[in-house]
Structure 1
Amino acid sequence: MSSNLVSYDLKKITPLIAPRKGEQKLGEHIELLHENDSLVSQLSASETKYVLMGIPEDIGVIANLGKPGTRNAWEAALPYILNIQNNQYTKGNKVLLLGHLDFSSELKKIDALSGEEQIEEARNITALIDTEVTNIIHKIVTSGKKPIVIGGGHNNAYGILKGASLAYGNAINCLNIDAHTDFRKREGRHSGNGFSYAFHEGFLENYFIFGLHENYTSKKVFKTLEKESRIKYNTFEELYVRCEKGFDFEIKEAIDFVKPSKFGLEIDMDSIEGMPSSAITSSGLPLNTVREIIFKSKKAKNISYLHICEAAPIMENEREKNLVGKAIAYLVSDFIRK
């Protein structure tokens, strides 16, 4: 197994499940790994369709001079995911709970640094995280499963795209629901350039950014996007402020751009209005809109993964923890729903 992978057993998840007489929860039916066989053999033998995993880190966010806290999203979300009702719509036996990639020692190292030294080391470690993410995603996709990854920073999109691309033997497409492009210059790895690295290195083919915020996209980045025929986008202001473009038409355009071949779906939680995230916004997409996008995207046979990232709840704040946890659980349920 991956040197950083912490797998879960019944002892680990049972305290997170709140049983109720006459009900069955997703966590009571979800598949778990066991210690007797290798990860590859267990993935191959499993009849599940989805593999759920967490990447609790914010090193890539720190490397991008961002607000830390994305290390908390997995811990906030997992209990809510496990307590979804197991019924005719959401079935736990379709999901293998892999566990999480543990970067706690790296996080301690980063937390002990400051200033330029912290940024430089965070970028170095982000590149190492890329390798771990790439390897685990490659194994999941090679086994014929669809990863559901809860981050973590958006830096992990690079490792997911690379791992999936290597498994398929081709560059893959991506639909990114995001206020930002994360297509900034390749200046060392961080959460703001996962897609530019993947695009440049041949792992990302067609790239669509949905709901880009004009206020937070530089002139230089807009120029870069305009030069690339394999990149398309719409802006939040076009959709919701000036109302120049219709939502239903635009989501169809976005999915049509990526669905001819294998594609991933990225949900940056800072695109959702009022969501505790690394770049929280007071003006953004409603959660129900993002749920609809997931529902419409997953109907395309070529969808290959779901990555939910950048949520940054303060764990001591019950409201933030519950808001993030329940929102992510809704998004995951929409992806696995029958």
Structure 2
Amino acid sequence: MLTLFNKADIASLVNQRDGETKLGEQFLTLENTSKKPNDISIGLEHAAAQGAKFAIVGISEDIGPRANLGRGGSDDAFTASVSQFANLQSNRFCQGGQCLVVGIISPDNLIADNADTESLRHATAELDRQVMTYMGQIFAAGLEPIVIGGGHNNAFGLLTAAKQTFNQPLAAVNLDPHSDFRPREGRHSGNGFSYAAANGALDHYHILGLHELKNSEATLEQLSLFGASWHSFQQIWVRREISLDSALSQICKELNNTNLPVGLELDVDAIAKMPSSASTFAGVPLLDACHYVYRVAKQCDCAYLHLAEAAPSCHEAGISAGYRDVGQGISELIYSYIQGRKAKLS
């Protein structure tokens, strides 16, 4: 189901100060006049006519990571992120009126903490259909989704909705220590891209920061057979065989050579110390992740930004620290994307 955000929801997050205008004071919210269930297209078109370019959407679920035998917690990133982003200044660098805050997609049915793997994978497949429905309407309205939260399983729904809307497959780049190209054994957070490749939604795939020892040989073989490519975490940040700048230049050239819309993906467990379902101590600095988002957004024809797997409750110092770090980190990533797209389209 989709829980819409309204003006009152946004206002409750904003700390107003005299002489300042916060981004959240200018955010657009959805006015949906359709009588059809799950149809938000009229409201989206109205927001686009008002000047919205980006549709900020949350996904509140951790069934995908749990279906992948991982930890939960990825269901609580959206509000932390929006509340931080809403309290940044609206000024000459960024104006809140570019952003439509849509709301939160969540599973229709409550999934028990002790649910078995088969039930979790079935529920993940059901969630795919919801993601496709709402993202398809956002793409059709000419808006670029910025999707926050949930497991990386939701890349499948995003890619499939984009393919259905644009009538062509996508190229995707993913900053992630895991390729999420595992066998199609039932839907979960570890195989969103392999399912998208199988249904024709994904035509070109590159992983930045792939960890050489966090992907099985069988998965690496599947990637090679598909024709995927990668720069490993060790190549760039450990052995320094290639600089991040050079890697991004290669990646953007390859993406542009496809002449396809680009899915810009980031699993926050790639970022050092970021609370996530698979947090890592040895990860990519947040500033490098921001630069990755900015460069690809600026140089490529991006269809969306997907920030997956943030889990405030997994912070080692507790949930309050998790809300703070997730909110600040994701706010910087959102702004990096908006600035990149602004530079691309100007």
Secondary structure at 2:77 match in 1: helix
Letter matched to residue 272 of structure 1: I
Match of 1:328 in 2: 330
* CA shift in 2, pair 1:256/1:187, >3 Å: same
Secondary structure at 1:53 match in 2: strand
Match among 92, 102, 106 for residue 102 of structure 1 = 106
* Deviation of 1:242 (Å): 1.4
- 8 A Cα contact 1:210 1:234, kept in partner: yes
Match of 2:10 in 1: 13
* Deviation of 1:249 (Å): 0.9
Secondary structure at 1:307 match in 2: strand
Letter matched to residue 169 of structure 1: N
1:165 aligns with 2:163: yes
- Aligned equivalents of 2:124, 2:58: Cα separation in 1: 16
1:237 aligns with 2:242: no
Secondary structure at 2:305 match in 1: strand
Letter matched to residue 199 of structure 1: A
Relative contact order higher in (CA < 8 Å, ≥ 6 apart)? 1
Letter matched to residue 321 of structure 1: Y
1:76 aligns with 2:77: no
- 8 A Cα contact 1:178 1:211, kept in partner: yes
Letter matched to residue 25 of structure 2: E
- Aligned equivalents of 1:256, 1:243: Cα separation in 2: 21
Match of 1:42 in 2: 43
Match among 64, 71, 77 for residue 68 of structure 2 = 64
- Aligned equivalents of 2:254, 2:195: Cα separation in 1: 20
- Aligned equivalents of 1:73, 1:203: Cα separation in 2: 27
- Aligned equivalents of 1:146, 1:323: Cα separation in 2: 25
Match of 1:92 in 2: 96
Secondary structure at 1:214 match in 2: coil
Letter matched to residue 122 of structure 1: L
1:317 aligns with 2:319: yes
Match of 2:173 in 1: 175
- Aligned equivalents of 1:245, 1:62: Cα separation in 2: 35
* Deviation of 1:54 (Å): 0.1
Letter matched to residue 338 of structure 2: I
Match of 2:123 in 1: 125
- Aligned equivalents of 1:219, 1:301: Cα separation in 2: 31
Secondary structure at 1:87 match in 2: coil
* Deviation of 1:267 (Å): 0.8
* Deviation of 1:209 (Å): 0.3
Deviations 1:24-63 (A, max 9, x none): 1111001111243562122223231110110010000110
Letter matched to residue 26 of structure 1: L
- Aligned equivalents of 1:97, 1:331: Cα separation in 2: 16
- 8 A Cα contact 1:268 1:310, kept in partner: yes
Structure 1-normalised TM-score? 0.94
- 8 A Cα contact 2:14 2:86, kept in partner: yes
- 8 A Cα contact 2:262 2:300, kept in partner: no
1:270 aligns with 2:274: no
Deviations 1:168-189 (A, max 9, x none): 0000110100010000000000
- Aligned equivalents of 2:159, 2:61: Cα separation in 1: 18
Letter matched to residue 41 of structure 1: I
Counting only pairs closer than 5 Å after superposition, residues 218-229 of structure 1 correspond to structure 2 as: 218-229=216-227
Deviations 1:101-129 (A, max 9, x none): 133x63x3332x34xxx211110000000
Identity of aligned residues (%): 36
Unaligned runs of 5+ in 2: none
Structure 2-normalised TM-score? 0.92
- Aligned equivalents of 1:190, 1:304: Cα separation in 2: 23
Deviations 1:182-210 (A, max 9, x none): 00000000000000000011000100100
Match of 1:195 in 2: 193
- Aligned equivalents of 2:260, 2:33: Cα separation in 1: 36
- Aligned equivalents of 1:179, 1:319: Cα separation in 2: 24
- 8 A Cα contact 2:111 2:120, kept in partner: no
Secondary structure at 1:124 match in 2: helix
- 8 A Cα contact 2:177 2:270, kept in partner: yes
RMSD: 1.4
* Deviation of 1:301 (Å): 4.9
Letter matched to residue 147 of structure 2: V
Match of 1:304 in 2: 303
- 8 A Cα contact 1:55 1:102, kept in partner: yes
Unaligned runs of 5+ in 1: none
- Aligned equivalents of 1:153, 1:240: Cα separation in 2: 25
